[in-house]
Amino acid sequence: PWLCAFVSVVSRQFSQKEFLLILFLLSCHATKPNLLNVHLVPHTHDDVGWLKTVDQYYYGDRNDIQHAGVQYILDSVVDQLLKNPDRRFIYVETAFFYRWWKRQSADVRRTVRRLVDEGRLEFVNGGWCMSDEATTHYSAVIDQMTMGLRFLNDTFGPCGRPRVAWHIDPFGHAREHASMFAQMGYDGFFFGRLDYQDRSRRRIAREQELLWRASDSLTPPMADLFTGILPNGYNPPEGFCWDQSCDDPPIRDDPDLEDYNVDDVVKRFLAIANTQAKVYKTNHIIMTMGSDFQYENANLWYKNLDKLIRYVNGRQANGSRVHALYSTPSCYLQELHRANLTWALKTDDFFPYADDAHDLWTGYFTSRPALKRYERISNGNLQTCNQLEVLGGPISRNGPFGKGDSQTMKKAMAVAQHHDAVSGTEKQHVADDYARRLAGGWLRCQVLVSNSLAALSGSTAERIYCDKLNVSVCPLTESSSKFSVNVYNPLARPVSWPVRLPVNGTSYKVSDAEGRSVDCQVCVCVRNRGFAVNELVFQARAPPLGFTTYSVSLLRDGPPAASTRRRTPTAIQNKVRPPLCLCVLVLQFLRVTFDPDTGLLSGLSNLETKQTIKLTQNFYWYNASDGNNSKSDQPSGAYIFRPNSSTPFVISRTAKTETVQTSVLQEVRQWFSPWVSQVVRLHGDSRALELEWTVGPLPIDDDLGKEVITRLDSSIQTAEYFYTDSNGREILQRKKDFRPTWILRQSEPVAGNYYPINSRAFIKDEVDQLTVVTDRSQGGSSIQNGSLEIMLHRRLLYDDVRGVAEPLNETSALFPEGLVVRGRLLLSLDRPPTAADAHRPLAQQAVLQPTLTFTDGEPRPNTRGRWSPCLQFSGLQAALPPAVHLLTLTQWDEDSVLLRLEHQFQSRESKENSRPVTVNLQKLFSTLEILGASELNLSANQWKDEMKRFHWTPQTGM
Ligand SMILES: *[C@@H]1O[C@H](CO)[C@@H](O)[C@H](O)[C@H]1NC(C)=O
Ligand SMILES: *[C@@H]1O[C@H](CO)[C@@H](O)[C@H](O)[C@H]1NC(C)=O
Ligand SMILES: *[C@@H]1O[C@H](CO)[C@@H](O)[C@H](O)[C@H]1NC(C)=O
Ligand SMILES: *[C@@H]1O[C@H](CO)[C@@H](O)[C@H](O)[C@H]1NC(C)=O
Ligand SMILES: [Zn+2]
């Protein structure tokens, strides 16, 4: 089945045994074993949104911003490939290719299929986009890769399956991405950007091609990925850019005309090739002949490349040792594999990325925090939508509430994974476009979710969605005296979740699905923006992969009972001790203390494990460099974090506080300044302390850009080590001013120690581990021992000269003075050997939060009036074991679903949970009967038993 070539230009004999293999190799041009082979790879780098939106890029609209039109690129390349069968092209971003393919005639499609079958047009990477690696969560990356690769398989079959992962532009590389690519069946991986110190060392050591062992837990070679660092980012060598957007001289080869330059061109090319060969290991080197949105007029490139190959190879008659050829990354990779060498082994990652001493790309870990949060919420919403499409059956897509779909949301989420999307490095109008797509996707999903819940509950009552609960807005709960709340839990284990609803009454009765009354409280704890005066708080318990329903009825209107409200203001300036100090919060599992003088957090205890640490928390801001200083003219911007000083300014040494204590919830609210406040919150049966921060609008009237952090300073003895997750999955150890693979010259003491945090970070010593679970991707570090800081928000006045050409200065219609961002951190204090048992589920719960829907009035039977509504449902027969995470449950086609189960613990991380587990698929679902199952690779584009990857040998012989 993997016969992808009909061209027959073989220069060697082959035996019967080699037959299949050779037939595949045929689509690659023959190389010369005794010469230096230069693989010329024509390519275009098409951002799925950056300076223009994805659709503007596709059509070539708004060329005033940037001249770029992907439809013309594909038109032009296909024409040019037909003109000469030797020519090759690779295409990467399926989001664009799909748009183009949809509009092509049967004729063009036939032609393109032939080009793909013959290996003249090759797909590499093949995801919907080229995802960001620092700020994405693995579940969304797997989804977007699956969508792109599925389109390629459906359209082109096995010849459309990319064999090479290609991340030429992302700004640093995550180990979890390499692990995923390996499990998706890729034979190798190429990228363009890495730390400038790392690159220069690798050039000398000839270690720009290496073997990345990307998991501590998977048995090699399961997560081994051959990794190549491209010679010149992803650009052509200097002087050899023949795109219409470049100014390099064309090859002028008519000796009768003026300016004949073939000798000069060939001489320059040979010099570059020979220099490049010195820093790579084999007699094969690669040159990326293309760049951003190039090949719109592909004739320019190909005409000159044809000539270049002809004239360079013509010199072989005179003894030249260089052989140039049209190639692709997989043809190049195949030669490296054939070389049968051993390769340097790498086990850490490629963060942070610096392209110069003061140019650390660590700002984008936090840039556009609101978009990052919205993307994360959307991922949860999409998983709920996918699951309910399966559980509700076909009526979900076309039911009582009309036609809904999950496809729109899938596409919006896939586009949002692009390395200028969730990364926050796009222009403002493009960021708005990503958010708009997510909102549109969720609207389509809402119809599906309503249909599905109607089918599963037997009630066709209208469902209301309240997406602004974070600012206490939900018109239904504010005005209704009787409503019900459906809590859908997308996790495969039961959850207990604090429900907070804005209300106007002062006393409510809440009953669960069995009619039992539930402990609830009304408190004056609304979180601005809305009109409601109170919040109703209760703890909901939802079954695995299912829902439960609570009914709420108003008992009394009027002002809130005084007993739920105790104020303890602390003077900010004068150190007046407040008369009655409530400086301790205690609930079932945790005890939190506050310093009575400052109002700041001062200690945390876990009452179960009997641990106590000193813990101070406060907010600070780094003064963003404006670039005007002697060391470097680099300012802080959307990509780059460059504080003007390593010491951040404290926003306030004291916090004004107010306390709310009820039986289900205890809160201390802290005001640090008009633009920074926080609620420190303990919920009934939660083992984690919640810090809900609100930051903004960041003042800029002092003309200083600000990068706001919160810092936790603890008594934990950390000895310069701290830990961050990789794309929300495995944990990596970090050490201050240190890189595992080279001797670091640290030139940015703060920014050079920042790492991406996707879902959690921790510090620990022998006895205590403090874990912080985040609600979105953020940057963070440990600059002092015992301390952990997380960057929450940034507002900058200068562009950082990496192309986006706008300062990161976010405002919106609601926030014309500057964006206000709210989020939360969950803190958990544990004994190191059992900490993973606590933070793994906590992090999954933060990613896949329950979806709440509301119906007004009493629960009603459906239109036929026959069914009594089902108030509680679980799609599983029983909860999955703690080690197993249900990662994906989504409709694949009419009669099959895609299911991904994940062992979510690393090896050795948990005594209890790191062990292998067995799940009985037949006994998994409560309403679905499994008729058959076939195992696929991680991206679901290859059957597991057909998956066969190149084998590579590490230098150490491991
Ligand atoms: C690769 O090299 C090893 C030893 O270095 C050798 O045993 C093996 O036969 C070689 N494989 C091929 C295909 O040449
Ligand atoms: C809730 O009460 C506030 C203040 O009394 C009022 O402005 C608002 O309209 C009420 N909301 C609803 C939905 O009744
Ligand atoms: C930042 O945004 C504010 C509010 O829109 C505006 O007044 C200010 O000029 C902007 N500053 C820069 C440097 O863009
Ligand atoms: C790939 O697509 C073909 C149809 O082109 C289909 O028959 C096959 O099952 C697909 N492979 C996988 C792994 O889904
Ligand atoms: Zn890019």
pLDDT digits over 497-525, tens only?
999 999 999 999 999 999 999 999 888 77
Q: What is the pLDDT of residue 530?
A: 66
What is the C-alpha radius of gyration for the chain, rounded to an integer number of angstroms?
Answer: 29
**Does 650 have pLDDT greater than 60?**
yes
Q: Which of 313, 434, 295, 330 is nearest to 375 (CA)?
A: 434
The CATH homologous superfamily for domain 31-126+162-346 is Glycoside hydrolase 38, N terminal domain (3.20.110.10)
870 in contact with ligand 3, CB cutoff 6 A: no
Q: Are 290 and 243 in contact (CB under 8 A)?
A: yes
So which residues are the catalytic ones?
169
**Does 492 have pLDDT greater than 50?**
yes
Mutational pocket test of ligand 3: of 794, 809, 811, the residue with most ligand atoms within 8 Å of the beta carbon? 809
Query: What distance in angstroms lies between residue 505's CA and the mean position of ligand 2's atoms?
Result: 10
797 in contact with ligand 3, CB cutoff 6 A: yes
Give the residue whose CA is nearest to atom 14 of ligand 2. Answer: 479
Q: Which atom of ligand 4 is closest in space to residue 157's alpha carbon? A: 5
**Does 903 have pLDDT greater than 60?**
yes
Q: What is the pLDDT of residue 109?
A: 98
SS3 state at 306: helix
Q: What is the pLDDT of residue 574?
A: 34
Q: What is the pLDDT of residue 694?
A: 96
**Does 863 have pLDDT greater than 70?**
no
Q: Which atom of ligand 3 is closest in space to residue 807's alpha carbon? A: 14
CATH 2.70.98.30 positions along the chain are 568-847
Place of tokens 């606590």: 838
Beta carbons within 10 angstroms of residue 860's beta carbon: 16
Summary mean pLDDT of the chain:
93
CA-CA distances (angstroms) from residue 276 to 166, 197, 205?
20, 18, 13
Q: What is the pLDDT of residue 102?
A: 98
Query: What distance in angstroms lies between residue 392's CA and the mean position of ligand 4's atoms?
Result: 26
Q: Are 135 and 172 in contact (CB under 8 A)?
A: no
* Per-residue confidence band for 956, with pLDDT thresholds at 50, 70 and 90: confident
DSSP for 142-199 reads HHHHHHHHHHHHHHHGGGG---EEEESS-SSB-HHHHHHHHHTT-SEEEE----HHHH
Q: What is the pLDDT of residue 859?
A: 63
505 in contact with ligand 2, CB cutoff 6 A: no
**Does 802 have pLDDT greater than 80?**
yes
* Per-residue confidence band for 60, with pLDDT thresholds at 50, 70 and 90: very high
* Average pLDDT for 131-146: 98
* Per-residue confidence band for 958, with pLDDT thresholds at 50, 70 and 90: low
Model-level pTM?
0.95
Q: What is the pLDDT of residue 582?
A: 56
Q: Are 88 and 42 in contact (CB under 8 A)?
A: yes
6 in contact with ligand 4, CB cutoff 6 A: no
Q: Which atom of ligand 2 is closest in space to residue 478's alpha carbon? A: 13
Strands 778-781, 787-795: pairing kind? antiparallel
- CA 28/CA 723 separation, integer angstroms: 44
**Does 1 have pLDDT greater than 60?**
no
557 in contact with ligand 2, CB cutoff 6 A: no
**Does 394 have pLDDT greater than 90?**
yes
Per the structure block, which two tokens stand in for 183? 């499990």
Q: What is the pLDDT of residue 566?
A: 41
* Average pLDDT for 296-320: 98
Contacts of 309 (CB under 8 A, 6+ apart): 40, 86, 324, 325, 326
Peptide bond into 916 cis (omega under 30): no
Query: What distance in angstroms lies between residue 425's CA and the mean position of ligand 3's atoms?
Result: 18
Per the structure block, which two tokens stand in for 207? 């270690």
- CA 811/CA 476 separation, integer angstroms: 29
- CA 118/CA 210 separation, integer angstroms: 30
CA-CA distances (angstroms) from residue 312 to 275, 305, 318, 321?
16, 10, 11, 10
* Residue 558 exposed, middle or buried by CB count within 10 Å (0-12, 13-18, 19+): exposed
DSSP 850: P
* Average pLDDT for 179-201: 98
**Does 852 have pLDDT greater than 90?**
yes
* Per-residue confidence band for 231, with pLDDT thresholds at 50, 70 and 90: very high
* Residue 481 exposed, middle or buried by CB count within 10 Å (0-12, 13-18, 19+): middle
Query: Domain 568-847 adopts which CATH fold?
Result: Beta-galactosidase; Chain A, domain 5 (2.70.98)
* Per-residue confidence band for 663, with pLDDT thresholds at 50, 70 and 90: confident
Peptide bond into 740 cis (omega under 30): no
Q: How far is CA 611 from the centre of its chain?
A: 34
* Per-residue confidence band for 309, with pLDDT thresholds at 50, 70 and 90: very high
428 in contact with ligand 3, CB cutoff 6 A: no
Q: How far is CA 494 from the centre of its chain?
A: 26
Give the residue whose CA is nearest to atom 13 of ligand 2. Answer: 479
* Average pLDDT for 844-857: 96
Q: Positive or negative, the Cα torsion across 333, 339, 340, 346?
A: negative
Q: Which atom of ligand 2 is closest in space to residue 532's alpha carbon? A: 1
942 in contact with ligand 4, CB cutoff 6 A: yes
| Ligand closest in space to the Cα of 131 | 5
**Which of the pair, 334 or 958, is modelled with greater confidence?**
334
Q: What is the pLDDT of residue 10?
A: 34
* Per-residue confidence band for 65, with pLDDT thresholds at 50, 70 and 90: very high
CA atoms within 13 A of residue 163's CA, in its CB half-sphere: 20
Please, what's the largest Cα pairwise distance for the chain?
98
CATH 3.20.110.10 positions along the chain are 31-126+162-346
Query: What distance in angstroms lies between residue 861's CA and the mean position of ligand 4's atoms?
Result: 43
Counting residues of the chain whose pLDDT is more than 90, the rounded percentage is 88
Q: Where are the beta strands (DSSP E) in 327-414?
A: 342-346, 354-356, 359-360, 398-399, 402-403
Q: Which of 28, 1, 3, 187 is nearest to 12 (CA)?
A: 28
CA-based end-to-end distance of the chain: 33
CA-CA distances (angstroms) from residue 377 to 206, 259, 568, 708, 853?
43, 60, 34, 22, 15
Peptide bond into 352 cis (omega under 30): yes
